Amino acid sequence: MKHENEFDELARQKLEGRSIAFEESDWTAMQGLLKAEKSDRGGVLGRLAKWLGGAALLTILGIGIWKYIDHSTEEKGRTTVATTVVENTNSTEVPSTPLNGTTERSEQELHGSNTTSIQQEVDRTAAISTGSQGPSGETPWKTEKPEVLANVASNNERTNKARQDLNTQGSTSTAVRKKTPSTNDRSTTVVPTSVKADVIEPAIPIQDEGNSLDTGVSNEGTTIADVIMDPSETPVVSMGNEDGPAQKTDGTTVANDDPGEETPSPDGIGTTATTIADPPASKDSEPSEANSNTPTTPDGIAMATTTPPFKNSERPADPDSSAMTPKSKTSSEEQEGQIQPSVNDTNVVAPEPPPIAPLITPRSPWQLSVFGGAVNTNTRYSGANSEEWNTDIQKQWTANAGVELVHMGKNIGIGTGLHYSTYSEQIEISEKNRNTLAIRNFWYLSPIDTTILFITDTIQQGGQTVYAGQSVQTTINVLAQGTDSTNTTTRLRDARSTRNKVSYVEIPLLLDAHLVQGRWSIGLRGGPTVGLLTGRKGSLPNSNGEGYTTLNDQPFREVVFGWTAQAYVRYRFNAAWSIGLEPMMRGQLFNTLGSGDLSRKATGYGGVLSLSYLLR
Amino acid sequence: MVSEALIARCRKEEPKAQYELYRLLHGLMMSVCTRYERNEQDAVAGMNQGFLKVLTNLDKRRPEVPFELWVRRIMINTMIDTYRSSKERKAQETMETSIDESPAVEVNEYLRQMESEAFAQLLDRVPDMSRKVFNLFIVDGYSHAEIGELLGISAGTSKWHVSHARQVLQRCIAQLAGKCVAKTAYQ
């Protein structure tokens, strides 16, 4: 063993004592390597630029999708205006005429109905006063499918009945508002082929503004003509359901006044299918002759109905009999308290209703969230001499909090925030000793017992010499080599249980995907983070294995990159505020120590409670 | 001794400073690399690779660590990494049986008289793995456990490699010594 130690020591000295001459060729090779490294560094930058470009592209794409979704939502929510569409696809005389300037189509058109139907207003007053609200309070575009609300040119039987009713009450005019069940939507056929200009009688303008309708768009083509229900020229009406709702003739109108059965137009506004304004009906009032121009039936009933738009040849010559009676005229008539005859003025445009203030102030899509909770952090050390102690690292719970501002689209959101994150670990470090074995050689005298023969005499016997001797027992000391070894144990590092904490303020780029179901919303949120070192506490064993170094003396990076991800379930308890429970994960992407061989990375898993506020 | 000023200039990537540093460290780096790599060209390549690491990691060096020690550590790691990534690593030499013991005292005596270069050449006769383990353990002061982790072997295997390298060297030295004795007797 001694010789081996000596050999090793000599070998070490020999190998370390070598002197190798410098050769220029080595440096030449080194220069080539340096150049290659420089160009490679450019390549790294290029790759980084590509990554950043890709990330920017993805971000732009995400924002684009989000904007698109957001825009679609707005489009959906926009109030639309539509008017009655009279369809008669089979009857060429009464073509369907959709509104100009509007993209909305009645559902009748969508259904491809082959009937000539007139969708009457259901509750115009309600429709106008509430803006886009239907009588049931629902948004008009969500109402059930359109029904044929009236058949202006209803069957003779029903018309006669109406006439009788009207006659009974001495009404000067009437509006025929009938509603047929939706099941008759397609079976009701109106053949207004006999409608001619000369039989077109003007309807009495509406006195009530509520009965008029401002479609908000050009009404050209939105013709709902008046048809005089002259028995001789009564259009042939074939109704699928003879049992139409009972007509109510409370003085002025013949209408299906059962609001429950009435259906708002699919466009949300009760359209002026027939508008026959009527003076207050009374039995004492003048009959229709008082209004000599008022078209009347032979029974003296002024009938204003709606029909499809006239053809040019059929259009009344009266230039004032435009389908869209000017509002001013209507107003003047109202002021005069007279009922002026008007040809084709059943579609009276009321003044545009004043803008209605929204009942609920729309909220900004920006959502501000604060959260706090606990995260169980796990720190991993590697490199240097960490193998000596990194097996005894325990996870620790730490408090985490933050604030986030996210632009929430329909399903996608993007935003940022400020997270305060702490990564902690408990390390149990065992003591470390150094054992030094010192070997020393020494010489010593070793006593050896021996027998020495002394020649004491010489005797000649027969020519031969005989030696006489004497044995003497004695002890001699022999020089011997001994080995002395000394084993010294030096304590290099004490055992220690240390809890380390490193805190960061992290700025995340948050991408959010969520689904909203009533008051509940679920979602995923996460993204990369940039962490700024704010504090550190604790210590780690030295890299040389002797003692400890406090974390403040460790070369921590001031800026670290990480990631965060969280799932959330939130409950909105009013329009603005919501609370949520959010499982959370976060971690660091790279080594957080700046130099040396020791590497440190941390991750954390936990949950937080959040409180979110949707900004105004 | 490398000055901090020179290191600072190297951080600024001044070619002259880099050359100066290379020149200063060449002996140290080459002595390490040639111990681990018997092929001189490979040793130079490894040394240059290590020096590149030195230049690119100057910012990460902790000031309390002596620069030469740090460079030496990088060189060793570079050579070991190169060896680990080598595909030929699997083709290790088989563990030979014991070699005839030579009188250790004579060997040591002869070794004491030997030139350093001559002993370094003897080291080339030691099988690759054993030479690396011998270098790591005897010269660079790694423990068997550390060597085992570095080279992916067990501590016991590391011990065997040290012993094997030692025996090979001692045998070679003994042969040299025997030749010398024979030559002297012949003369």
From A84, A86, A288, A328, select the one nearest A202 (Cα to Cα).
A288
Among A57-71, A105-119, A381-395, A431-445, name the one with the lowest average pLDDT. A105-119
Which residues in chain B have their CB less than 8 angstroms from residue A8's CB? 138, 166
Cα angle A42-A45-A48, degrees, rounded to a multiple of 5? 155
CATH level 3 topology of A366-433+498-614: Porin (2.40.160)
Q: How far is A33 from chain B (nearest CA, A)?
A: 7
Environment class of A213 (CB within 10 Å of its CB; exposed 0-12, middle 13-18, buried 19+): buried
Question: Does residue A99 or residue A364 have the better pLDDT?
Answer: A364
Count the residues in chain B.
187
Question: Does residue A194 or residue A72 have the better pLDDT?
Answer: A72
Q: How far is A591 from chain B (nearest CA, A)?
A: 12
Split at pLDDT 50, 70, 90, the class of A554 is confident
- Cα B69 from Cα B75, distance rounded (Å): 10
Q: Do A595 and B105 touch (CB under 8 A)?
A: no
- CB nearest B117 (choices: A18, A26, A37): A18
Q: Do B23 and A30 touch (CB under 8 A)?
A: no
Listed in order, strand segments (DSSP E) in A383-463 are: 393-408, 412-429, 432-461
Strands A559-572 and A520-537: antiparallel
In this prediction, residues B139-143 reach a mean pLDDT of 89
- Cα B83 from Cα A46, distance rounded (Å): 31
Q: Give yes or no for residue A241 having a pLDDT over 50.
A: no
- Cα A229 from Cα A165, distance rounded (Å): 14
Can you give the pLDDT at residue A570? 92
Other beta carbons less than 10 A from residue A328's beta carbon: 9
pLDDT tens across B62-88, in order? 878 888 889 988 999 988 888 877 655
- Cα A361 from Cα A105, distance rounded (Å): 29
Beta bridge partner(s), residue A241: none
Q: Do B30 and A20 touch (CB under 8 A)?
A: yes
For chain A, what is the mean pLDDT?
Answer: 65
In whole angstroms, how far apart are CA A80 and each of A216, A217, A270, A308? 9, 10, 12, 22
3-state secondary structure of A372: strand
In this prediction, residues B8-27 reach a mean pLDDT of 88
pLDDT tens across A246-265, in order? 444 344 344 444 444 444 44
- Cα A538 from Cα A593, distance rounded (Å): 14
Q: Compare all CA atoms of chain B with the CA of A384 and give the residue at the minimum distance.
A: B146
Which residues in chain B have their CB less than 8 angstroms from residue A391's CB? none
Beta bridge partner(s), residue A588: A562
Cα–chain-centroid distance for residue A461? 133
- Cα A277 from Cα A291, distance rounded (Å): 13
Name every residue whose Cβ is closer than 8 Å to that of residue A440 and which is 6 or more positions away in sequence.
A483, A484, A485, A486
In this prediction, residues B4-8 reach a mean pLDDT of 86
Beta bridge partner(s), residue A513: A412, A524
pLDDT tens across A84-139, in order? 444 444 444 444 444 444 434 444 444 444 433 334 443 443 333 333 344 444 33
Q: Do A8 and B166 touch (CB under 8 A)?
A: yes
Name every residue whose Cβ is closer than 8 Å to that of residue A524 and which is 6 or more positions away in sequence.
A512, A513, A514, A565, A566, A567, A568
Split at pLDDT 50, 70, 90, the class of A512 is very high
- Cα A329 from Cα A37, distance rounded (Å): 88
Is there a contact between A105 and A251 (Cβ–Cβ < 8 Å)? Answer: no
Q: Which helix H or strand E contains A349, and what residues bound it? A: none
Name every residue whose Cβ is closer than 8 Å to that of residue B61 and which is 6 or more positions away in sequence.
A595, B7, B67, B70
Is there a contact between A112 and A236 (Cβ–Cβ < 8 Å)? Answer: no
Q: Compare all CA atoms of chain B with the CA of A4 and give the residue at the minimum distance.
A: B104
Q: Do B169 and A6 touch (CB under 8 A)?
A: no
Can you give the pLDDT at residue A25? 83
- Cα A125 from Cα A131, distance rounded (Å): 10
- CB nearest B22 (choices: A14, A20, A27): A27
Q: Give yes or no for residue A289 having a pLDDT over 60.
A: no
Among A513-517, B141-145, B180-184, name the one with the lowest average pLDDT. B180-184
- CB nearest A15 (choices: B23, B59, B139): B139
Q: Do A7 and B123 touch (CB under 8 A)?
A: no
Name every residue whose Cβ is closer than 8 Å to that of residue A143 and which is 6 or more positions away in sequence.
A134, A136, A263, A264, A265, A266, A268
Beta bridge partner(s), residue A413: A408, A512
- Cα A559 from Cα A48, distance rounded (Å): 18
From A614, A492, A509, select the one nearest A565 (Cα to Cα).
A509
Q: Give yes or no for residue B24 having a pLDDT over 80.
A: yes
Q: Which two tokens stand for residue A589?
A: 């992407």
Can you give the pLDDT at residue A405? 92
- Cα A522 from Cα A252, distance rounded (Å): 56
Can you give the pLDDT at residue B105? 61
Name every residue whose Cβ is closer than 8 Å to that of residue A12 and which is 6 or more positions away in sequence.
B138, B139
Other beta carbons less than 10 A from residue A376's beta carbon: 14
Which residues in chain A have their CB less than 8 angstroms from residue B61's CB? 595
Which domains are seen in chain B, by residue range? 4-87 (1.10.1740.10), 104-186 (1.10.10.10)
Q: Do B169 and A11 touch (CB under 8 A)?
A: yes
Q: Compare all CA atoms of chain A with the CA of B56 and give the residue at the minimum distance.
A: A37
Q: Give yes or no for residue B172 having a pLDDT over 60.
A: yes
Q: Give yes or no for residue B8 having a pLDDT over 70.
A: yes
In this prediction, residues A582-606 reach a mean pLDDT of 87
Strands A577-588 and A559-572: antiparallel
pLDDT tens across A401-419, in order? 999 999 988 889 999 999 9
Long-range contacts: B1-9, Cβ < 8 Å, 24+? B1/B68, B2/B67, B2/B68, B7/B58, B7/B61, B7/B67
pLDDT tens across A219-240, in order? 444 333 343 344 444 444 444 4
Residue pointed to by tokens 């604790």:
A538
Residue pointed to by tokens 């620790």:
A396
Split at pLDDT 50, 70, 90, the class of A46 is low
Cα–chain-centroid distance for residue A283? 63
The residue of A9, A20, A441 whose CB has the most chain B CBs within 10 angstroms, and thus the best one to mutate to test that interface, is A20
Q: Do A29 and B45 touch (CB under 8 A)?
A: yes
Can you give the pLDDT at residue A352? 64
- Cα B58 from Cα A385, distance rounded (Å): 21
Can you give the pLDDT at residue A333? 45
Can you give the pLDDT at residue A347? 55
Is there a contact between A524 and A514 (Cβ–Cβ < 8 Å)? Answer: yes
As a whole-number percent, the residues of chain A with pLDDT over 70 amount to 50
In chain A, where are the structural domains located? 83-348, 366-433+498-614, 442-488
Split at pLDDT 50, 70, 90, the class of A450 is very high
Checking phi first, is residue B174 left (phi over 0); if not, alpha (psi -120 to 50) or beta?
alpha
Among A172-181, A429-438, B154-163, name the one with the lowest average pLDDT. A172-181
- Cα B84 from Cα B92, distance rounded (Å): 12
In this prediction, residues A351-363 reach a mean pLDDT of 62
Q: Which of A105-119, A223-237, A337-351, A584-598 has the highest mean pLDDT?
A: A584-598
Split at pLDDT 50, 70, 90, the class of A354 is low
Q: Which two tokens stand for residue A287?
A: 């009959």
Q: Give yes or no for residue A269 having a pLDDT over 60.
A: no
Can you give the pLDDT at residue A385? 76
Q: Give yes or no for residue A280 having a pLDDT over 70.
A: no
Can you give the pLDDT at residue A119? 42
Q: Do A26 and B47 touch (CB under 8 A)?
A: yes
Q: Which two tokens stand for residue A402?
A: 């933050």
DSSP track, A303-335: EE---PPPPGGGS-S-TT--SEE-HHHHHHHHH
Can you give the pLDDT at residue A523? 92
Split at pLDDT 50, 70, 90, the class of B113 is confident
Q: Which two tokens stand for residue A322?
A: 């435009």
Checking phi first, is residue A527 left (phi over 0); if not, alpha (psi -120 to 50) or beta?
left
Task: Tell me what percent of chain B is helix, strand and coil, each rounded to the nearest 5.
Answer: 75, 0, 25
| Number of inter-chain CB pairs under 8 A, A vs B | 97
The residue of A16, A30, A483 whose CB has the most chain B CBs within 10 angstroms, and thus the best one to mutate to test that interface, is A30
Residue pointed to by tokens 């202006």:
A152
Q: What are phi and psi of A425, to 5 degrees?
A: -150, 155
